[in-house]
Amino acid sequence: MNKPIKKIILILLIVLILPIIFFSVREMTSLSRDEEIIEEIYRSQLQSILFSINQYSDDIVRSWTSHLTSIIEIEASKEKLKKELAGLFSESQSVQSLYVSDSLFQSQLYAEFNAGSITLADNNRSLKELVQNNFDQLRRLYSYNKSGFRKIEAVNSSSTNRLFLIFILSGGKFSVLSIDKQLFIQKSISSKIQSVARDQFIVSIYDSLNNKQIYQTSQIDSEQRIIKKNLWLIPGYQLGIQLKGETIAGLVKKRTSSNLIIFLVFAGLMLITAFYAFRNIKREVELAQIKSDFVSNVSHELRTPLALISMFAETLEMRRVKTEEKKNEYYKIISQEAGRLSSIVNKILSFSQIEAGKRNYHFKEVELNRVIQSVADSYKFHLSNKGFEFILEQPDEKLMINADEEAVSEAVINLIDNAVKYSVEVKLVLLRLTRRNDNVIVEVEDKGIGIPKEEQQKIFEKFYRASKGLVHDTKGTGLGLSLVKHIMDSHKGSIEVDSEQGRGSTFRLLFPLK
């Protein structure tokens, strides 16, 4: 590969690859950054929704505690107390019983709601023991209360279905509410959850301790990410939320995929454009190089016969040749070199006519045997003088084709010239005429240097000459085989070549039989 082509490749790589890499990195980092921002906004939104549910459940329980405080503060008869407590149990629905006492457990009240009736008692041993077992928690709540902060906390217990909430009442008393967890979720906070979820989210409640799902607004998609947050009032329970339908991550992924496809299509178009641009530029550079080599070769080809003609003509003109035999030898050389010069000029003129589209062929019925015989007769003496063994083989059958006789002769002569030019040690030229099915075949075979296999399809291109070896070292115009190819195409025929380096070549001209 020559230096101009290498420079073109380098420039194209810089012009194309660097922008592609730059935009790839920029697009990927931009998408990653956008996805992180969107994901953060998404998570914050879901966290705020879960916070609102927690806040709602906390507000409900606080309303119960306020109601209970107002009841306890009223000094009422037993019947009136039952009536007031019935309103509280009816309001809460999930509260099963309540226990009120002072810090010394001297003034106690126990109320239980069962089957629509309320039972009152002065004490409840199990709830009292529950509080005594968690007395540090009670002491902490009293401390909060002194600071002006009323807090509601769940008391640790062995019950899996009941929730025990403890809080401080006014007047130094405290209370414990026994709540059914399932009813609390279904009766108290499910409406809030449904209003939050609507058709956009799926909200669920899990028992993380038992790995059990307690509640959900609709069927959860296990493939989507679930944002979880602890349920404040019920230890071990978690709120979960996820986007219904397509997730933000899915949308970002889809956007990433579409952007990537667009980018790859754009990059592909750029590469295809670059490929065609490179191919055309490479072709022009190679053509320019070939034309330069052509001018150099033609100059050499013309200079040699002109120099010989000039030298021998000058020698004869100055009467320096004494014998007739020597004169005849010089005349012969001048004639040969003039013929060689004429052949080169004719090739260039023929090629010029072809390039300009002015090469006209005069087709008529031609006996190919006679044309081949005429070429053989004309070249037999010339080949013999160069030390070549010349063999002509043709059948007795007359082979008729529709052709331009002069063009056919030119094609065969070009092949013979090449056979002579590229034969080094074994000087043999075989001209053979045969028939194969509906084709007439003219073969020119030599035992010359041969053609590399990888270059056998290129030798019919205009100006093309082998890039290395003896073929390249032998001077020529690079037009001969191109002219032969054009002649065969014009005759609706074809040309074939069999060649092996060091063993010679065989060219076949296939003409359709008339």
pLDDT digits (tens, 9 = 90+) for 311-360: 878 888 887 777 888 888 888 888 877 877 777 777 677 767 666 676 78
Residue percentage of the chain with pLDDT more than 70: 81
Q: Between 391 and 9, whose confidence is greater?
A: 391
Cα 454–Cα 494–Cα 294 angle in degrees, nearest 5 = 55
Rounded mean pLDDT, 157-170: 88
CA dist list (Å): 309 to 304, 338, 351: 9, 7, 25
Residue 31 confidence (pLDDT)? 57
Instruction: Single out the residue of 409, 438, 410 nearest to residue 511, CA to CA.
Output: 438
Q: Residue 357's beta-bridge partner residues?
A: none
Give the DSSP letter string of 148-206: T----EEPP-S-SSEEEEEEEPGGGEEEEEEEEHHHIIIIIIHHHHHHHHTTTEEEEEE
**Least confident among 55-59, 186-190, 196-200:** 196-200
Please determine, for residue 37, whether its predicted confidence score (pLDDT) is greater than 50. Answer: yes
For range 154-163, the mean pLDDT: 87
Give residues with Cβ within 8 angstroms of 218, minimum separation 6: 197, 202, 244
pLDDT higher at 164 or 39: 164
- Give Dmax (Cα) for the chain: 167
pLDDT in tens, 366-412: 999 999 999 888 788 778 878 889 999 999 889 999 999 988 988 99
What does the pLDDT read at residue 38?
A: 64
- The pTM of the full predicted model, rounded to 2 decimals, is 0.47
Q: Which pLDDT belongs to residue 39?
A: 66
Q: How far apart are CA 292 and CA 1, in angstroms?
A: 17
pLDDT higher than 60, residue 472: no
Q: Mean pLDDT throughout 115-137?
A: 89
More confident residue, 238 or 355: 238
15 has pLDDT over 80: no
Tell me the CA end-to-end span of the chain in Å, nearest whole number.
47
When mean pLDDT is compared across 40-49, 128-137, 241-250, 408-417, the lowest value belongs to: 241-250
Residue 469, pLDDT > 60, answer: no
DSSP code of residue 440: E
Closest to 180 (Cα-Cα) out of 120, 102, 97, 258 = 97
Is 251's pLDDT higher than 50?
Answer: yes
Classified by CATH at the fold level, domain 360-512 comes out as Heat Shock Protein 90 (3.30.565)
Per-domain residue ranges for the chain?
3-183, 360-512
CB 407 within 8 A of CB 490: yes
* Better pLDDT: 143 or 206: 143
> Quick one: pLDDT band at residue 500, thresholds 50, 70, 90?
confident
Return the SS3 of 406: helix
Window from 21-35, 232-246, 421-435 with minimum mean pLDDT:
21-35
Q: What is the pLDDT of residue 369?
A: 92
Q: What is the residue-averaged pLDDT of the chain?
A: 82
Greater confidence (123 vs 381) lies with: 123
Q: Name the more confident of 20 and 231.
A: 231
**Confidence band of 303 (pLDDT split at 50, 70, 90):** confident
Confidence of residue 454 (pLDDT cuts 50, 70, 90): confident
404 or 281, higher pLDDT: 404
In a 13 Å sphere around the CA of 258, the CA atoms on its Cβ side amount to 6
Taking the C-alpha atoms of residue 442 and residue 413, their distance in angstroms, rounded to an integer, is 12
Which pLDDT score is estimated for 106?
86
pLDDT attached to residue 386 = 81
HEC sequence for 332-365 = HHHHHHHHHHHHHHHHHHHHHHHHHCCCCCCCEE
